Structure 1
Amino acid sequence: MKYIAYLALFFGFTLNAQAESKQDILKQLHLPPGFSISLFADHLPNARSMAIADNGVVFVGTRQKGEVYAVQDTNGDGIADKTFVIARQLYMPNGVAYKNGTLYVAEVNRIIKFENILEHLDNPPKPRVVYDKLPSDQHHGWKYLRFGPDNKLYTAVGAPCNICEPDKDIYTSLVRLNPDGSDFEIIARGIRNSVGIAWEPETKALFFTDNGRDLLGDDVPPEELNQWSNKGQHFGYPYCHGGIIAETEFGKNKSCKDFVAPAWTFKAHMAPLGLHFYHGKQFPDSFKNQLFVAQHGSWNRSKPHGYRVVLVKFEQGKPVSDAAFISGWLTGSGKVLGRPVDVLEMQDGSLLISDDHLGVIYKVTYTP
């Protein structure tokens, strides 16, 4: 029964009816002094990764729901008052990215685009295929999608298993391609399941989260925050975990020194997903260029942990510490009230955080 409960958490199902209202849940969340959290958008089942257009329209992907939403705050009161369904019956359309009037969506096996989307929110056009040669495996198949400083699309292809040595190069890879689907290339390997990519604002270095393997115990292996710098780098999976733990079966003749070590690690099973470097002006200066990471929370740990947003502090372009920024979605009794997935910055410097457990988007603001 416990294993069924873990699976339910993993796939975003709610086992017990929420006794608390969503407003009651907000009151149980803990933030630093001066920060407040509210509901920006509601009734978005399985809300996952987010992207924002120049006019403030927020696009939201899902996983098992198979839909893509758009939400809009038309009167500027901090609450989205319009919701549109851009697409239905897609194959785990987790990843979304926006550029120059076009919405890009990453399904498991392809990337598609909706052109001139802002002009057709209430009557979306049929999507056009950008790239359709990705594996169709559902296991770790859902994807994050972001535009890099080079204007290329970046995503990752996960391992089709918990732990295995895939027989195709495309698995466990970080990839990039042009917006028209050309020049597809694998730029790194050894990545088990990355669902978060961001660039450090000053150095333009690419950082990505990676979820470690399951079923080794409560406290191993650590989850990873990695930094990519050169094409061809290998980040260890399935031979080495966290830069220090050799895999029993596949790592027998390997050394962890042969692979790129994580730039930072989190405790096992925290499930770090979406991340964002803050570059706005609303928050205090100490938050400038610091990294927010959504930790979705554990599913195969005897005592759950995670279910929070952490702030990873950077100095001279390198992570040096981390601490909880928002907590309270996991109660002292182990009850799960929400599961943060992605972090997005609005034009005014406020933050949006998606929650696929409650199907909402939160807004975090700061008042001195």
Structure 2
Amino acid sequence: MQNQNCPACYRQPSSTVRWAGRLFFMLGFCALSILGAVVPALADNLPLQTAKAMSLLRPESGYRLELFAAVNNARSIAVAPELKGIFVGTRGPNLYFVRDADGDGKGEEVNLIADDFKMANGIAYKPGTLFVADQHRVVSYDLSDFDWTALGRARILFTNLPDKRHHGWRYAALSPDQSRLFIAVGAPCNICKVGGLEGTIISMPISGGAPKIYASGIRNSVGLTFHPDTGDLWFTDNGGDNLGDDVPREELNHATAEGLFYGYPWYAGNDTRSPQFAGETPPAEVTFPAFTFNAHNAALGLTFDDGDALVALHGSWNRTIPDGYKVVRVEFRNGEPVATNPFLDGFLRSNGEVVGRPVDVKHYIDGSILVSDDHASAVWRLVPTKK
């Protein structure tokens, strides 16, 4: 039986060279399955998948690519300036802290600080507190005595999130004033009727208590943030599967107010009607996306940068010709998204080989850009070459 915390374990070697590389990969990442383990974040002999991606990724002109840290199954990022590092969530039980004690933009060590979540994907940080939106509940941790190696006792904030694994990986972000926690709660299916908190973005006080639905009609958002100037919520959404190579298009949505409805499940994504509900009349007030990406690109984490949005396209899994697999810069004009250009490319090779899959995008302490990658098990750092 394969070790769920170490997906590389027990693979059969195809050659002596491959086995040597895989052995290093296994030892490094299996060590991180031990709570409290401290492993150097960077090494001369990187796991083969990480090293290959490092050699092939191409950043936007004006940036250079560096490896911030090798982190197994790296997903959501929460930057913690006061702690000199970042929290890294996963789509599994493990949660990490990567420490950059000297502030040089390279993590010196990766610490497994918790290993008892259902899905440690939804994380957010404010000075002194870490919030985790797990599959079934929301908790917080007091960091006043945090020693970089382990979290203390969880404080329960809410216990009634839909406890379903399908689209059960949450995404979390704090409001601009850090008084409320926003959490994306996916629909537990491909296309189906939803109830309760399913298919929504909820908002709740950081002290805990019953959440309220801020936005609804959302299939599976795995990325949300607030515009630095307007304070408006922007979020990505993934369209339905198995409807064709080119439909429905993936979404970048703008919430100009609380209470808007975004169409799901009557719409599978963008303006594509769901065949399951083709005979039904959808609600009259549907807010359609502000911008769309190619079908099945899987738009995930995003952040605003210099007036534009940087969006991670995780890449397709159910398209005849693979597409996505890049971080794009969404150009804004007069406050509206109008076009995309590659920001970090090369995750998908011309022969169809996937060397990485970007997940989340965040600004680091020094203003550089961090990109998590759950395929290459890395957190990449893009550093401006011009001041």
TM-score, normalisation: structure 1: 0.89
Q: CA deviation at 1:330?
A: 0.3
Structure 1 residues 24 and 170: CA distance shift in structure 2, 3 A: closer
TM-superposed deviation, 1:95: 1.0
Kept in 1: contact 2:59–2:382 (CA 8 A): no
Show the counterpart of 2:39.
none
- Distance in 1 between the 2:361 and 2:318 partners? 24
- Cα 1:20–1:234, aligned 2, differ >3 Å: closer, same or farther? same
Render the CA deviation track for 1:84-140: whole Å, top value 9, x for unaligned.
Answer: 212102111101111121111111011111102563322421211111111100001
Q: Which amino acid in structure 2 is aligned with residue 156 of structure 1?
A: A
CA shift in 2, pair 1:13/1:270, >3 Å: farther
The amino acid across from 1:25 in the alignment is A
| Residue correspondence of structure 1 range 1-368 to structure 2 within 5 A | 22-42=50-70, 44-55=71-82, 56-64=84-92, 66-116=93-143, 119-150=146-177, 151-166=179-194, 168-254=195-281, 258-278=285-305, 288-368=306-386
Residues 255, 104 of structure 1: alpha-carbon distance in 2 compared, 3 angstrom cutoff: closer
Deviation at 1:243, TM superposition (A): 3.5
Which amino acid is 1:323 matched to? N
Supply the distance in 2 between the matched residues of 1:78 and 1:243 (Cα, whole angstroms): 39
Q: Is the 8 A contact 2:123 2:133 kept in 1?
A: yes
Cα deviation for residue 20 of structure 1 reads: 5.1
Distance in 2, matches of 1:85 and 1:24, equals 24
* Contact 2:371/2:381, CA 8 A, preserved across alignment: yes
Q: CA deviation at 1:321?
A: 1.1
Code of the residue aligned with 2:181 in structure 1: it is L
SS in 2 for 1:97: strand
Shift of 1:156: 1.4
- State the distance in 2 between where 1:34 and 1:136 align: 44
Q: Which amino acid aligns with 1:259?
A: V
- Any conservation in 1 of the 2:95–2:115 contact (CA below 8 Å)? yes
The match for 2:36 is none
Take 2:253 and 2:319, find their aligned partners in 1: how far apart are those partners? 23
Q: Any conservation in 2 of the 1:243–1:256 contact (CA below 8 Å)?
A: no
SS at match of 1:156: strand
CA distance in 2, matches of 1:229, 1:183: 23
Q: What do the CA deviations read for 1:296-331 (whole angstroms, capped 9, x no partner)?
A: 111111111111100011122211111211110100
C-alpha distance 243-268 of structure 1, shift in aligned 2 (>3 A):
closer
Deviation at 1:183, TM superposition (A): 4.8
Contact 1:246 1:256 in 2 (8 A): no
For 1:249 and 1:24, how far apart are their aligned partners in 2?
42
Could you tell me whether the CA contact under 8 Å between 2:96 and 2:114 is conserved in 1?
yes
- The SS at the match of 1:337 is coil
Q: Contact between 1:243 and 1:260, CA under 8 Å: does it hold in 2?
A: no
RMSD: 2.1
- Give the SS at the match of 1:25: helix
Q: Hey, what's the Cα distance between the residues in 1 that align with 2:103 and 2:215?
A: 42
- 2:60 is paired with a residue whose SS is coil
Aligned residues: 345
Q: Calculate percent identity across the aligned residue pairs.
A: 41
Whole-angstrom CA distance in 2 between matches of 1:181 and 1:61: 21
- Equivalence for 1:5: none
Change in CA separation of 1:190 and 1:335 when aligned onto 2, cut-off 3 Å: same
What does the per-residue CA deviation read over 1:26-50, in whole Å, with 9 as the maximum and x for residues that have no partner?
A: 22112222211111001x2111001
Distance in 1 separating the partners of 2:117 and 2:282 = 41
Q: Taking structure 2 as the reference length, what is the TM-score of the superposition?
A: 0.84
Q: Distance in 1 between matches of 2:51 and 2:149?
A: 29
Structure 2 Cα separation of the partners of residues 308 and 29 of structure 1: 9
Do the aligned partners of 1:101 and 1:118 also contact (CA within 8 Å) in 2? no
Structure 1 pair 22–201 and aligned structure 2 pair: CA distance change class (3 A): same
Aligned partner letter, 2:135: V
Which amino acid in the other structure matches residue 337 of structure 1?
V
